[in-house]
Structure 1
Amino acid sequence: MKTTIGIIGAGAIGQTVSNTILASDLADRLLLASRTLVQAQALTDDLADMRTTTGSATVPSACRPEDTVAAAALVIAIRERFTNDNATDIRMAGAEANARAIRDLGHRLRGYPGTVLIVTNPVDLMTRLFAEASGCTRVYGIGSNLDTARYRLTLSTLMGVPADQVHGHVIGEHGDSAVICASTTTVNGQTVAIPVRDIRETLARRPGLISSGVGRTRSGPAGAVLSTLRLVLGQADGTTELCTEWNGHWLGVPVTFAAGQGKPALPALNPTEADRFTASGHKLDTAYQNLATIH
């Protein structure tokens, strides 16, 4: 079946997502848009070189953001210019700057019938903002699935087992109030004692360590996008953690996909985890309302 995927944003994440999709042959066609058509065309030309050297079947082409509505799924990875001086809540720093662009894009793509994956931070706020501005009904935010992957990797290293033997979730905000679901985490099928505080500190440091070394996290988010695209396009079934609406809040929860249709459901939470999840939702609601009053 022919599949077209659109990517809006030709920065570090947009470039890496584009490379990943082209190398995977996930789509037959890749529509690329950015702040300017010049940027989109430059990325298209670079990908055309990659396509020729690798023999990929995916054909990239530059377009305006409005033209991406021809795609079955859109990945939005725009990022406005801003200075991030935050010592905590680092992903919140660009909320005001990115909100303007996300809201404008939502209006321009209003009524788009496909699936939209938001990568722009703070992703929980931007996912809600785009969904409300666009009226699109299948909008998900990429973040909690990356948090979960990092959690599984960290725990697998600590326990000395392969990452695929670790099963657990990180939910709530893609940020400082993320909730580690330690009570339902298993290693080799068995529940184990989880050093939650130490792991939370490790997960909080990891993005900064990557960014300090290579400028910005790229590959992890791109992998999270690729695996999610397979699910939303019906090319695979499974569960992943995504920002979506849950009981009136927008935050990360596990979403199970079958034939491209997603159904969110929370894992069992102990009282501490439930309290943290509730607090995470309230924090994001307050931040969103503050954003609405500013704009």
Structure 2
Amino acid sequence: MRQFKLPFGILIGPEIQVFYDGPLNEQENAMLIGRIKFEKDSKDGEEFVSLFSKESFSHDALHGFAAEFLKKNHQKTKIEELVKRITSDDFQDQTKELIKQHLIQEIDSEVIDAALEKVKIEIRSLYIPDTADYQVKLREKAVEQRQASRESGRDYSKFDVTINGKSKVKLNKRDSMHFVISESVYFGISPEDLMNLTGRKAWIWVNKVCHSKQEFELEEIRNVKIYDSTRWSNEDDALLIYEGKTYAFTNQQGKETYDLVNKIFHQYPDLKGKIKKKES
């Protein structure tokens, strides 16, 4: 395109791709502005024929098509940037501060701070990018993650786990470990016995039956000097009740997860447990 100084280019392969390299393009390389699949009654195909057929060809219409795409693409980029900003940790901290300012006139500041410490505010994105671009980004992210894993030594392994006849697939280290621990307790193995394999530091508990995180955190939490709620599997459905006590298991799992799960399965063969590491 640049060799012949053309603003538009067409590549025909498994699909038709339209490229733009005119004055509105601020990128270094030509920009892909259209994909047309070979499908019957395709509206994109009809528009392509209208733009490039000899009978209806118009430079103004073609440049208008490019301008409209660039406008939408710019808006999409702005939306993605804003969604990323809104879902950031900093923005969630600001949300807590806004809540505090809203309540400060009627409730004591220390009470608000104490209440907010027991509240998790999570803003999640419901934004779904264009399918084609999204799939490309997912593949790029996966490649970058694997490369980062190799360079940093971080482990992004996934596991298929079977225990007590229940199976779950593609679990991360945290979910794999909690699945095994919780099923072991449900099977009747005491947390005290499991501590012989996991270590005592992997557990906290209260001397009461609790059915919610809120109830759990109101009690005196044992086996930890400073309680950091983010480091424990302490959601309502993750708490483990055994003989009048309520336990929470650590969510800080490392490369030892696979070996530790196998140690538990070896120690308690009646669990009929298996763990298989998935290829990245």
TM-score normalised by the shorter chain: which range applies?
A: under 0.3
Identify the structure with bigger relative contact order (alpha carbons < 8 Å, sequence gap 6+): 1
Structure 1 or 2, whichever has the larger Rg, is 2
Scaled by the length of structure 1, the TM-score of the pair is 0.24
